[in-house]
Every structure is written in C-alpha cells, then in structure tokens.
C-alpha cells in the first residue's frame, strides 16, 4: 500500500507570520519547538504508534522536511520518494506537494492540519484531477476543523491506517471540505462554507454477509432522496436549490446543469433560471415569477446548518416568502446522525424569522421516507 504524506507544520499556530517577533529563536525549528500550542509532530507520533507494525509495511511518499519526511524519520519509517518544497512553506506548497504526490500512484493521501490545509489538499487534488477518486485521511491538528475529512483523534487515525493496510481499501464516502468564512469570523460570526468534497476511506470489516460493509450516504441513497423529492415537484413553481452533494443529486436527476457549491434557481419542470445565483438575482427572480417559492436545502457541515450566514444567497426575505411549507430539507440518515448536538440549525440573520422554524422539520431521507428532525435556532 502506498500512502502520500503532507503535513502543515503551521497548523495550530497560524502561519509563519505568527512567529514574527519571537525572540531568542535561532531557527524556525527552535521557534516551533518552543511553541506552547499542541503541535503537529506530537500528533503524528501518536498516530504512527497507534498504527504499529503496519506502518512498516506501507510505502511512504512524502513532502520534504517538516512537511512530511521528518515525521516519518522520527517514527523510524523509510521514505520511498520525497517531494521538494519551499521553506518556510506556504499554502501553495501544500497544494503543489499534494498534486505531485497524487501523480505518483499513491493509494491514499494522508495529511495533517486543519480546514485550511484540507482546502489546500482539495485544490491540489483537483489540480491533479483525482479529487473525486483518490481517498484522503486527515489527521486533526488545526484550530478550525469543520470538515468531515478528519479522524476523531490521532489514535483513531493510526488504527484506521492499520486496518487499511491489513485489509485493503474498500468503499469511500463523500466528506465535506468546509472552512469558516474569514470575514464573518472577524465579525464574530461562525459561518461555515462548503468548498467541495473529498473521498474518505472506510475500513472494510471482515464480518459475514457484508452487513457492516454497507455504506450509507452513498450515491444510491442520494439518488433515492432525489427521486422522492422530484416526484413531488410542481412544474410551474420556483425552486432554489442550495449547495451540497445531496441536492446535486436532484439537479443531476432533473438534467439541470447547476452548481455543487452555489444556489441554483429552477422551475419544477427542470428549466434552469439562474446558475450559482447571487442574493440579488434570486430575490429578483422570486419577485418576477409570482409563483410558489420552494427552498431545497441540505445541512452542511457538522453543525447541521440548513441555512447559515455562510449561505449568503438565501436571504431572510426569501426564507419568509417560502415559509415553513416551502422549506425542504434533504439529507441521508447518517448525515443527520453525525450532527453535533443532534439538531438542525437555521441562522438566516433575522432571529425573529428563524424562531418561527423552531420545533421539528421533516427531512427527506430516502425514497418516500422522511424523518422529523429537531431544529434549534
């Protein structure tokens, strides 16, 4: 098994800029070592320990120095190939190293960092053209970790690697790559934004009959949800379809060329009216087409946000126009069950309006299946 390793040595620190002004440090490494935040090398070491002997059987490909090789050396592991990087490294190095490693025939890309690193890895894999085929696994080491690509903690990452090495890579599922909007963050608002999807490997369990092998949240399940919703659509009503892979399945089913990450406006008969539309465009459309308005959304990120500040396009005005009857939530059951706090959230910006959605929302979870999920505002 061939694994590529890319490490963001600045994860948890905030980048080389955060070192500016550190006094008494002769080298960057010394500054790193002096850093009081839990840092990446320790996490990597914990992961390799949990992986055990299986790590020896892996062919490791890594970015150079603190971006990968040093961690492998510290764990006593040989490196088959080294990808050179600049030092001090920047986001661009993560992207380029990822892209290069992806071209070396690896089976899995392992990275250490936070949401920012995940975004860079996503871009690197897109550059290499394998973002929806090469599985990745994130070792959590950052401050912001909204994305679903991370293992729970270093030990779990190591155990997963061991299982993958022993039993092979089987079945992958889409994992969201999220990041918090920097501008909103500076204003004190938590507004996660979806950037795309990476493939997470799942360890094939060797039990009988494959009962444990079955993966929920699969393409088949999203298609079932899409079919179910499509059957209820009215030809002349207006539908605003939000971001996410589940809503994307609906667009695919209808043959609509929409966007994975933006909001698309269409009529129920499949006529696309606006693609990746802005708030302005959407409000204009709703104004012009005096027809019933429907919002088709999926909870994004672990916080279960159906409507959040990160989704600027769907304004409170549109939410009010759609009302409870026009708000449709689509999500596979395992997505719901993975939500932190177990609730959906609506945060449109208008707290009074949000309060009207308190209680439960019906969520379409399969073909002619729904569940009632609690909403908290």
Partner 1 sequence: MNAMDNIATHRKQQMRRYHQARWDEPVIFELSQPGERGVLVPEVEPEIAQATGQPLASLPATMRRQRPPALPEMSQNRVLRHYLRLSQENLGADLNVDVGQGTCTMKYNPKINDQLARQPGMAELHPRQPDSSVQGMLEVIDKVESVMREVSGMDAVSLQARGGSQAIFANMSIVRAWHESRGEAAQRDEVITTIFSHPSDAACAKLVGYKVITIYPDADGYPDLAALKAAVSQRTAALVITNPEDTGIFNSRIREFVDAVHAAGGLCVYDQANANGLLGIARAREAGFDLCHFNLHKTFATPHACGGPAVGAVCSTAALAPFLPSPLVRNKSGRYQLVSAGEQSIGKISSFTGAASIVLRAYAWIMNLGAEGLRTVSEIAVLNNNYMMHQLLKIDGMSAPYAPGKRRIEQVRYSWSGLAQATGVSSEDIGLRAADFGVHYWTSHHPYLVPEPATIEPTESYSRADLDEFIGVMRHIADEARSNPELVKTAPHNCPVHRVQGEMLDDPERWAITWRAYQRKLGERGLA
Partner 2 sequence: MASGKPFIHPYIPNSVPEVRDAMLRTVGAASTEEFFADIPTALRMQAPLAIPAPHLSEARLKRHVEGLLRKNAHCNNHLSFLGGGCYQHHVPAVCDEINGRSEFATAYAGEPYDDHGRFQALFEYCSMMGALLEMDVVNVPVYDGMQAAATAVRMAGRHTGRRRVVVAGNVNPDKLSMMHNYGRADLDFASAPFDPDTGLLDMAAVAQLLDQETAALYVDIPSFLGTIDDGAALAAAAHAVGALLVVGVDPVSLGVLAPPASYGADIVCGDIQPLGMHMNYGGGQGGFIASHDDPAIVMQYPSRLFGIVPTTVPGEYGFGDVAYSRTSFDKRENGNEFVGTAAALWGITAGVFMALMGPQGMTELATGIAQRAAYAKQRLARLPGVRVTHAGSCHFREFVVNFDGTGLPVAAINAALQQLGIFGGHDLSTAFPALGQSALYAFSEIHMQEDIDLLCATLEKVLNQ
Q: Which residues bind partner 1 (CB under 8 A)?
A: 159, 170, 204-214, 216, 333-334, 337, 359-360, 362, 365, 368-374
Please state the closest distance from residue 164 (CB atom) to partner 1, in A.
14
**What gap in Å lies between CA 369 and CA 36, rounded to an integer?**
50
- Rounded to a whole number of angstroms, the minimum distance from the CB of residue 174 to partner 2 is 18
| Nearer to partner 1 (CB atom), residue 148 or residue 160 | 160
Comparing CB distances to partner 1, the nearer of 74 and 337 is 337
Q: How far is the CB of 363 from partner 2 (least distance, A)?
A: 14
3-class secondary structure per residue, 84-140: CCCCCCCHHHHHHHHHHHHCCCCCEEEEEECHHHHHHHHHHHHHHCCCCCCEEEEEE
145 secondary structure, DSSP code: -
Q: Which does 36 bind (CB under 5 to 8 A by kind): partner 1, partner 2, none?
A: none
Of 64-72, 137-145, 206-214, 282-290: span binding partner 2 (CB under 8 A):
206-214
Residue from 129, 210, 342, 359 binding partner 2 (CB under 8 A):
210
CA dist., res. 175 & res. 325, Å (int): 30
Phi-psi domain of 105 (left: phi exceeds 0; alpha: psi -120 through 50; beta: other): left
Q: Looking at residue 170, what DSSP letter applies?
A: E
Q: Taking CB within 5 to 8 Å according to partner kind, which of partner 1, partner 2, none is near residue 205?
A: partner 1
Which 220-279 residues touch partner 2, going by CB under 8 A? 221, 224
Q: Tell me if 127 sits within 8 A of 121, measured CB to CB.
A: no
Q: Using CB under 8 A, count the residues that bind partner 2.
A: 13
The contacts of residue 50 (CB under 8 Å, 6+ apart) are 154, 155, 156, 157, 158, 159, 162
| Stretch of 94-102, 141-149, 201-209, 243-251 contacting partner 2, by CB under 8 A | 201-209
Tell me the closest approach of the beta carbon of residue 214 to partner 1, in angstroms: 7
The site partner of 204 among partner 1, partner 2, none (C-beta below 5 to 8 Å per kind) is partner 1
The option from partner 1, partner 2, none interacting with 166 (CB < 5 to 8 A, set by class) reads: none
At its nearest, how many Å lie between partner 2 and the CB of residue 107? 22
C-beta separation of 225 from 328 below 8 A: no
- Tell me which of partner 1, partner 2, none is bound by residue 290, counting a contact when its beta carbon lies within the kind-specific cut-off of 5 to 8 angstroms: none
The residue to which tokens 């949401």 are assigned:
115
DSSP-assigned letter for residue 203: P
Sole binder of partner 2 in the list 36, 207, 235, 352 (CB under 8 A) = 207
Please say which residue, 155 or 370, places its beta carbon nearer to partner 2. Answer: 370
Least distance to partner 1, CB of residue 21, Å = 41
Print the SS3 string covering 176-201.
Answer: EEEEECHHHHHCCCCCEEEEEEEEEE
> Does position 289 bind partner 2 by CB under 8 A?
no
Give CA–CA dist 71/69, Å, rounded.
5
Return the bridge partners of 344, or none. 375
CB 354 within 8 Å of CB 377:
yes
202 binds partner 2 (CB under 8 A): no
Q: Which residues contact 281 (CB under 8 A, 6 or more apart)?
A: 265, 274
Q: Which is nearer to partner 2, 289 or 367 (CB)?
A: 367
Select the binding partner of residue 371 from partner 1, partner 2, none (C-beta < 5 to 8 A, by kind). Answer: partner 1
Closest CB to partner 1 among 36 and 207? 207
Asked if 368 is part of the footprint of partner 2 (rule: CB under 8 A), the reply reads: yes
User: Is the bond preceding 13 in cis, omega lying within 30 degrees of 0?
Assistant: no
Chain residues binding partner 2 by CB under 8 A are: 206-211, 214, 221, 224, 366-369
């Amino acid at each position: 098994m061939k694994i590529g390793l890319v490490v963001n040595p600045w994860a948890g620190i905030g980048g080389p800029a955060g070192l500016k002004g550190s006094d008494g440090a002769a080298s960057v490494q010394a500054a790193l070592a002096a850093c009081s935040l839990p840092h990446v090398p320790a996490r990597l070491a914990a992961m390799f320990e949990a992986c055990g002997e299986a790590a020896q059987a892996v062919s490791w490909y890594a970015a150079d120095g603190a971006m990968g090789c040093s961690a492998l050396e510290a764990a006593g592991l040989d490196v088959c190939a080294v990808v050179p990087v600049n030092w001090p490294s920047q986001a661009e190095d993560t992207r380029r190293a990822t892209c290069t490693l992806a071209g070396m025939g690896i089976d899995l890309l392992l990275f250490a960092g936070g949401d920012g690193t995940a975004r860079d890895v996503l871009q690197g894999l897109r550059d290499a053209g394998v973002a929806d085929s090469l599985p990745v696994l994130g070792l959590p080491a950052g401050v912001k970790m909204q994305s679903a690509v991370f293992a729970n903690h270093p030990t779990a990452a190591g155990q997963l690697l061991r299982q993958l090495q022993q039993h092979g890579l089987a079945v992958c599922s889409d994992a969201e790559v999220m990041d918090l909007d920097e501008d909103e963050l500076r204003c004190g608002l938590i507004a996660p934004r979806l950037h795309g999807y990476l493939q997470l490997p799942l360890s094939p369990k060797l039990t009988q009959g494959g009962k444990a092998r079955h993966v929920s949240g699969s393409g088949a399940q999203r298609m079932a949800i899409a079919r179910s919703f499509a059957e209820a659509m009215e030809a002349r009503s207006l539908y605003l379809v939000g971001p996410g892979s589940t809503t994307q399945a609906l667009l695919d089913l209808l043959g609509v060329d929409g966007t994975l990450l933006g909001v698309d406006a269409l009529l129920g008969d499949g006529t696309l009216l606006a693609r990746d539309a802005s708030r302005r465009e959407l409000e204009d459309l709703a104004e012009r087409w005096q027809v019933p308005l429907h919002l088709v959304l999926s909870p994004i990120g672990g916080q279960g946000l159906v409507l959040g500040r990160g989704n600027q396009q769907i304004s409170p005005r549109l939410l009010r126009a759609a009302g409870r009857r026009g708000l449709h939530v689509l999500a596979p059951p395992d997505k719901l069950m993975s939500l932190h706090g177990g609730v959906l959230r609506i945060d449109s910006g208008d707290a009074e309006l949000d309060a009207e959605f308190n209680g439960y929302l019906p969520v379409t979870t399969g073909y002619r299946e729904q569940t009632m999920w609690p909403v908290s505002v």
